[in-house]
Amino acid sequence: MTQTAIVAKWKFVLTFEDDETAEISAAIGEADSEEECEALIEYEMQHHRSLGKNLVDAEAGEVCAECDGEGQIPAGNGERVICQACGGHLGPVSPFIHLNMSSDFGLRNWV
């Protein structure tokens, strides 16, 4: 049996709470690499901190770049076929990473 590497991209979700109103908001993004994902997360966190919002939750994960982790791709006329890039793998190709809330931001500090 031959294994091939899945071309993956990173997706992340950050949840924030406003200091004054307790309103919850989120930032969702994606990047081509772990380093780019880390940079985008750092940017989003700094931006939301400047608006008076605190990070509540954060997670990131790798998904197939072809099908976004859905395992299928459109085949035309409304039909879907198994993604050839990942062989129909559903969900993340590696476990989601959760931010260690007691540390500074950055994927290197994720657990």
- Alpha helices, DSSP H, located in 7-95: 34-50
The whole-number pLDDT of residue 101 equals 53
Question: 16 CB contacts (<8 Å, ≥6 apart)?
Answer: 24, 25, 26, 27, 48, 53, 54, 55, 56
Question: 95 CB contacts (<8 Å, ≥6 apart)?
Answer: 61
Q: Is the pLDDT of residue 110 over 70?
A: no
The whole-number pLDDT of residue 106 equals 46
What is the token pair recorded at 59? 């997670």
pTM of the predicted structure, to 2 decimals: 0.77
Can you tell me the mean pLDDT for 17-23?
A: 95
